[in-house]
Amino acid sequence: MHKAHEIIFAGFGGQGVLSMGQIIAYAAMIEDKEVSWMPSYGPEMRGGTANCTVIVSDSKISSPIISTFDSAIVLNQPSLDKFEKAVKPGGLLLFEESAIINLPTRSDIEILSIPANEEALKLNMKRVANMILVGAFLEKRPIVKIENILNALKKVLPERHHHLIPVNKDALAKGKELVNEEIKL
């Protein structure tokens, strides 16, 4: 049986939801894995809910359209309400702490709350909240190496934005740290 990891990233448009999926897809491509990235698209993307499905696999991907996920990374309440039930038993649900009022209730999946927005503000870079979540996710499910996320960023960011790579690196590390703190608690 081939090994594949199926993830949904969901939140509001503008939260970097699509980028999170893309950067993981790109890192997986660097590692010579098969990938697919399928976005929701349409006028609702600006400010409305947005999501993308990413599949990372060791072998050819059959359907890019899937209805259950190994992991869900959720950045707003409507997405939590929608996708909590779509996580496979034993799967991972990771959400941004400040965005969620009604907490998830399932007991057959692993649930992690990450204060990504708060920590991003501490890093003086609100927009890296999504990278904190990526760092946290990869700590729990190391489907690609952190160094390849950085390699992907190096490749995809234009030279003039390379100064942003260190803060992204810090964000990824912070995500990892938060997961480990969480576990200690």
Partner 1 sequence: MDQTLELIREARLMKGNEALAEAAIRAGVQAYFGYPITPQSEILEYLSREMPKRGGIVLQAESELAAINMIYGASGAGARVMTSSSSPGISLMQEGLSYIASAQLPCLVVNVNRGGPGLGTIQPSQGDYFQATKGGGHGDYHLIVLAPASVQEMADFVFDAITLAEKYRNPALILADGALGQMMEKVELPEEGSLEYPEKSWATVGKPKERERNIITSLFIQPEKMEKINLELQEKYRRLKEEVRYELVSTDDAEILMVAYGLSARICQKTIDLAREKGIKLGLLRPITLYPFPEEAVASFASKVDFYLVVEMNAGQMIEDVKLSVNGSRPVFHYGRMGGMISSPEEVLSKVEEILETQSVSNTSTGR
Site for partner 1, rule CB under 8 A: 16, 18-19, 22-23, 25-26, 29, 34-39, 41-43, 61-67, 127, 130, 152-153, 155-158, 161
Q: Which is nearer to partner 1, 47 or 183 (CB)?
A: 47
User: Whole-number minimum distance, CB 160 to partner 1, in Å?
Assistant: 9
Question: Whose Cβ is closer to partner 1: residue 65's or residue 185's?
Answer: 65
Measured from the CB atom, is 160 or 184 closer to partner 1? 160
CB of 114 to partner 1, least distance (A): 18
* Residue with the two structure tokens 């200690």: 184
Q: Give least dist CB 93 to partner 1, A.
A: 20
Taking the least distance from each CB to partner 1, the nearer of 113 and 148 is 148
Q: Are 53 and 7 in contact (CB under 8 A)?
A: yes
* DSSP tag of 61: -
d(CA 10, CA 137): 14
Q: For residues 39 and 115, which CB has a smaller minimum distance to partner 1 in the complex? A: 39
Query: Burial, 135: exposed, middle or buried (Cβ in 10 Å; 0-12, 13-18, 19+)?
Result: buried
Q: How near is the Cβ of 66 to partner 1 at its closest, in Å?
A: 7
Closest CA to 78 of 54, 128, 44: 44
Q: What is the DSSP letter of 32?
A: T
What is the per-residue DSSP string for 94-149? EEEGGG-SS----SSSEEEEE-HHHHHHHTT-GGGHHHHHHHHHHHHS-SS-HHHH
- Report residue 21 as tokens: 């999926």
